Amino acid sequence: MLEVTTINKWPHYRDRFVQLVIYLLVFLVSAVFAWILFDLARGGLTHLSWEFLIESPRDAGRAGGIGSVLVSTLLILLVALTAALPLAWTTAALLAEYVPTTSQFGMTIRFSLQVLAGVPSIVFGLFGNAFFSIYLGLGFSILSGGLTLACMLLPILVSTAEAGLRAVPQSYRLSAAALGMSRTATLFHLLLPVAAPTLAAGLLLGIGRAIAETAALLFTSGYVDRMPGSLLDSGRALALHIFDLSMNVPGGDTPAYASALVLVVLLLCINMLAMKLAYGLQRRKIMTT
Amino acid sequence: MFQSVQNDALTCWVLRAGAVISALVMLLILAFLLIESWPVLDQITPARFFTDTSWHPLEGTYNLTPMLSGTLLASMGALLLAIPLGITSALFIVFYAPTHLALPYKRMIELLAGIPSVVFGFWGLTTLVPLINQLHPPGASLLAAILVLTLMILPTITLTAYSALKAVPSEFLHNAAALGLSRWGMIHGIVFPAARSGIVAGVILAAGRAIGETMAVLMVAGNVVQHPEGLFDPIRTLAANIALEMAYAMGDHRAVLFVSGLLLMLLVMMLSAMASKIGKNQYA
Amino acid sequence: MITTHKRLLLFSLTCLAIGFGWFASADANAASQRLVLTGSSTVAPLVGEIVRKYESMHPGVRIDVQTGGSSRGINDTRNGIADIGMVSRALKPNEKDLHAYTIALDGVSVILHASNPVSVLSKQQIADIYTGKITNWKSLGGADARITVVNKAEGRSTLELFLQYFQLKNSQIKPHIIIGDNPQGIKTITGNPHAVGYVSIGAAEYEAKRGAPIRLLALDGVDASVAHVHSGAFPLSRPLNLITSHVPQGLAQHFITFARSQQTHELVEAQYFVPISAK
C-alpha cells in the first residue's frame, strides 16, 4: 500500500516570508537614499555653475559662490596631510616590518591608535581648541584646524598602510634578503612601491574623512568665509559652510543644497578612485602568486 | 656592509620615533582633557553632575543627566532601527540578491557611508523636521535625531555585518545545503551563530559612532535641555552641548564641558574595547 | 653617489626649510595688520560692513569677524584670542576690567510669523507663553495650534535682556527650540507659522525688508521700530559695544575710532540700528 507523506510546507512559507521582508526593507533603504539624493539635486542643481565654484561668498553666502571656501578646505587638507602622512606611514612601516606582532611596544601603539579612532570628533575639537588654538597660540587658523584633523586621520592612515604593507607577499622580502639588500633598501625600494596602491587608497579614504569633518573644525579653524591670506588666517571648510548656510542664514538653503551637491560629488569621486586602487592591487596580487 | 647596517639602525630609530609620536597623540589628548577638567573635578563633587536641579551653567547648576538621557535615548532608538535594517541589507547582499543587484546595492551603501553628517543634518532640517512638525510640533525632536542617526549608522552596521557574513567558511554553507536546509534555516541556524561575534562587534562600533555624533543631531534635535517625555520632545545630546556652549564657556562652565567630553571619550573607549574583544573571539 | 640616507636627509631639510619659510611669511602677515573680532551675532553684520569699508580704505589690513554670542566676545577678548569683542549690551559690574565703546543702539523685539493672525501680545501674555502657562494660539485669538516657543541659548545678551525685562529666570522658561544667532532665530520662525521668538530689531527689520515673512510685535504699546529705539521710547533697547581688554592701541584704536565716527552712520542705518554721535 502506498503511504502518503505530507510535505511540511511551513519552512517554505517561512523562507518566502523572510525573503519578502528582506526585499521590503532593502527597498525602504534604497528609497530613502534615492529621496535624499533627489532632494539634494532638486534643491541645488540649478544653482551650480562655474561661477559658483570660483567666486567667493557674498551676503553671508546667499550670493556668490564657494571659491574661497574650497581654497580653505584644500589648505586645511594639505596641512593635515603634511602633518599626518609622515607620522602615519612611519608608524605603519614600523608595525608591519620592524616589530613582531606580539611585542608590548607594538600592542601599546596599536591600542592607542584604536582608542584614537573611536574618539568623537567634537572631543577632537575640544582638544584642538585647548591645545592648538589657545596653548600654542595659533588662534582660529587653518593651521590649527589642519593639525587637529591630522590627529583624527592618524588611525585610518596607519591601519590602511599597515594592511597594505602586510599584504605584500613574504616571498618578496625573502628574495630581497637573499640578494643582500638592507632592510631600509627593502622598505623603500621594494615594499613601499608595491604597496603604493593600497597606501594611496588609504590616503584617499583619509582625505574623504577629512573633507567630511565639521565638529573638529568649528573651534579651531573658525568661520570666516573670505579667501585666506596665510596659514594663520581663519578659513571656512566646505562642510562648515553648509552648516552655517542651513542653520544661520535665512534664504541660504539653495546655496547650501548646491554646496552639499559639490561635497557629495567630490566624495563620490574620491571613494571610487580609492576603491579602484584597492581592488587593482588585489587583482595584481592574484596574478603574481 | 657597515653602511647598510648603519642605515638600518637609523631607519629603525626614525620609524620608532614616528610611531611613538603617533602613540603620544592619544596621551596628549587625554592629558589636555584632564588638565582642562581638573579645576571643576577638584571643587565640584561628581555627584553634583547627577543631582543638581538642572543644567543652567550661568546660574551655577551642572546637572548632566538630561543630556545623558538625550544621548542614550537617541542612540538606542537609532540602533533599534538600524540593526534590523543593516543586518537585512547585509543578508540581501550576501544571500538574497541576484548578482546584478548585489554589487550596485553594496556600492550605494558604501556611498551612504561616506556622506558627511552635515549633509544628513541638512536634509533632516529641510525635509524631516517640517514633516514631523506637521505631525506634531515643534518638529525638531528626539524622533528627528533618531531618524538622522539611523541613516548615519546604517552603512556601518551593514558593512561590518557583510564582512562577518562573508567570513563564514563556505564549508558550513555547503554542509547546510547538503543537509537540505532551507535558505532561511541555513542563515538562522548556521550563519548567524558563526557570524554573531563579528556582527555584534560592528553594532557596538556603530553605537560608539551614534553616541559621539555631533553635527547632524545639533541641527535637528531642538537643543532644549530636558528629559524627553515622548518622541516629539526636543532634546540635547552631550556632544551637541559641547558644540553649542564651547564658544562662550568660561571658568567652571568650560571645565564642566571638558568633563563631559572626557565622559564621551571614556564611553566610546569602553565600547570599542568591548567590540575588539568580542571580535577577537570570533575565531576562538 | 648619493645614498638613500643622504637623500632622506636632504629631503627632510628641504621640507623643514619650506615649512619655516611659510611660517615666517605667515607670521609677518599676521602681526600688526590683522585684527580678530568675535562676539555678538547682533553686532557682527554691522561690524562686517564697517570692516569692509575700512579694508577698502586701508589695503593690506585684514580684519576677521566671527559670531558666537556676547559672552564669547567677552571670553575671547579676556583670553587674547580676539583683539576686540562685540557685545550687544552694557558691561556688567564684574566686567569693569574691560573697556567698552558704543557704536550703535538697538532694541529687542518679539517676532511672529507674518501669517499669524495674532498681532498684539501684552507683557504678561508673552511671559505666560514663555513659562508654558499659555500653550495654544487659540487662547490668544489665533489659530488652534500649539505654540512653538523659541528661546535664545545661554550666553547671548539678547536672552539676558529678555529675562531681565520680563523678570524671569532662564530655568523658568519652557522652550521648544533653542537657537543661537539672530538669523537662526528668524529662519526658525519663518519656517514655522506657529512659532514665537525674540531677536534684535535691526536683524528682524533687515530680514523683513528682504522678504522674510515675519512681524515685529509692539512691546508695552510701543511699536518696535528703529525710530522708537532712537527716541528712547522703546522699553527694551541696548547699546552695541566694541570691547577691549586694555586701552586700545595701534590698528585696534584706529578701527574703533573709525567705527564710532560719522563715516559709518550710513552703514549703521542700513542695518536698521541707531547711530550714535561720537564723543
ipTM: 0.85
Partners of residue A139 in chain C, C-beta under 8 Å = 36, 81
Cis bond before residue A86 (omega within 30° of 0): no
Cβ <8 Å between B137 and C145: yes
The CA-atom distances, in angstroms, between C159 and each of B272, C88, C165, C185 are 41, 11, 10, 12
Cβ <8 Å between B57 and C154: yes
Q: Is the pLDDT of residue B75 over 90?
A: yes
- Torsion sign over Cα B56, B62, B63, B65: positive
Closest by Cα among A236, A235, A239 to A264: A239
Cβ partners under 8 Å of residue B28, min gap 6: A127, A131
**Residue C189 burial (C-beta neighbours within 10 Å; 0-12, 13-18, 19+):** buried
Taking only the tens place, the pLDDT of each residue in B22-65 is: 888 888 888 888 888 888 777 777 777 777 778 887 777 888 88
Q: How far is B115 from chain A (nearest CA, A)?
A: 6
Residue in the structure block whose three cell numbers are 539672530: C182
Nearest to C75 among B61, B139, B248 (CB): B248
Q: Which three cell numbers stand for residue A202?
A: 588609504
Chains within contact range of chain C (3+ C-beta pairs < 8 Å): A, B
Strand intervals (E) in B155-211: none
Mean pLDDT for the stretch of residues B238-262? 85
pLDDT category of residue B83 using cuts at 50, 70 and 90: very high
| Contact (Cβ atoms closer than 8 angstroms) between residue C179 and residue C153 | yes
pLDDT category of residue B78 using cuts at 50, 70 and 90: very high
Distance, in Å, from the CA atom of A83 to the CA atom of A288, rounded to the nearest integer, reads 35
Q: Is the pLDDT of residue B93 over 60?
A: yes
- Residue C170: closest C-alpha in chain B: B56
Virtual torsion, Cα B50, B56, B57, B58, nearest 10 deg: -150
Partners of residue C27 in chain A, C-beta under 8 Å = 232
- Residue C136: closest C-alpha in chain B: B137
| Contact (Cβ atoms closer than 8 angstroms) between residue B29 and residue A127 | yes
| Contact (Cβ atoms closer than 8 angstroms) between residue B117 and residue B149 | no
Cβ <8 Å between C27 and A140: no
Cβ partners under 8 Å of residue C167, min gap 6: C127
Partners of residue C9 in chain B, C-beta under 8 Å = none
Give the pairing type, strands B55-56 and A63-64. unpaired
Predicted structure pTM score: 0.86
Cβ <8 Å between B224 and C178: yes
The CA-atom distances, in angstroms, between A145 and each of A168, A223, C187 are 35, 11, 29
Closest by Cα among A167, A176, A157 to A194: A167
Q: Is A56 on the interface with C (CB under 8 A)?
A: no
Q: Is the pLDDT of residue B145 over 90?
A: yes
Cβ partners under 8 Å of residue A190, min gap 6: A172, A173, A176, A181
pLDDT of residue C278: 47
Taking only the tens place, the pLDDT of each residue in A95-143 is: 888 877 778 888 888 888 888 888 888 999 988 988 888 888 888 889 9
3-state secondary structure of B84: helix
Partners of residue C175 in chain B, C-beta under 8 Å = 224
10-residue mean pLDDT series, chain A (289 residues):
70 85 91 91 85 79 83 91 90 84 82 84 89 83 91 89 86 88 83 84 87 88 81 87 86 87 89 78 52
Distance, in Å, from the CA atom of C69 to the CA atom of A219, rounded to the nearest integer, reads 14
Cβ <8 Å between B15 and A98: yes
What's the CA angle centered on A283, arms A280 and A284, to 5 degrees?
85
List chain C residues with pLDDT less than 70. 1-9, 14, 16-32, 277-279
Nearest to B185 among A11, A88, A109 (CB): A11
Partners of residue B224 in chain C, C-beta under 8 Å = 151, 175-178
Partners of residue A252 in chain C, C-beta under 8 Å = 187
By percentage, how much of chain C surpasses pLDDT 70?
88
pLDDT of residue C3: 60
The partner residues of C238 in beta bridges, in order of sequence, read C106
pLDDT of residue B284: 37
Cβ partners under 8 Å of residue A98, min gap 6: A183, B12, B15, B16
pLDDT of residue C279: 37
Q: Is the pLDDT of residue B80 over 90?
A: yes
pLDDT category of residue B123 using cuts at 50, 70 and 90: very high
Nearest to B138 among C68, C72, C176 (CB): C176
The size of chain B, in residues, is 284
Q: How far is C50 from chain B (nearest CA, A)?
A: 24
Q: Is the pLDDT of residue B281 over 70?
A: no
Mean pLDDT for the stretch of residues B187-211? 88
